[in-house]
């Protein structure tokens, strides 16, 4: 999967990941390859991939065709 994290300062991360976990309004959510398309709210907290952890603010995430785009503060 290709993950892009966009903040007001610009693109803070772009790369390939095998796992993507983020805090949502309903608790932790996780995406794996082949996930169905969706849009979800991101809450302030920690984004976790198979290789690293990053802090994020409130925002939104969209997944489609194994491409994940997070727009957050």
pTM above 0.85, yes or no: yes
C-alpha triplet 2, 33, 36: angle, nearest 5°: 100
Q: What is the pLDDT, as a whole number, of residue 62? A: 96
Residues 63 and 37: beta-carbon distance below 8 Å: yes
Length of the chain: 73
Q: For 56-67, how does the pLDDT look when each residue is reduced to its tens digit (9 = 90+)?
A: 999 999 999 999
As a whole number of angstroms, the distance between CA 36 and CA 64 comes to: 7
What proportion of the chain, given as a percentage, has pLDDT over 90?
89
Q: For 32-53, how does the pLDDT look when each residue is reduced to its tens digit (9 = 90+)?
A: 899 899 999 999 999 999 999 9
As a whole number of angstroms, the distance between CA 8 and CA 70 comes to: 12
């Amino acid at each position: 999967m290709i993950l892009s994290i966009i903040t007001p300062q610009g693109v803070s991360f772009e790369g390939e990941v095998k796992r993507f976990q983020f805090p949502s309004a309903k608790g932790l959510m996780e995406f794996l390859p082949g996930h169905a398309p969706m849009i979800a709210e991101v809450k302030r907290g920690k984004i976790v991939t198979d290789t690293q952890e990053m802090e994020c603010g409130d925002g939104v995430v969209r997944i489609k065709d194994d491409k994940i785009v997070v727009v957050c503060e």
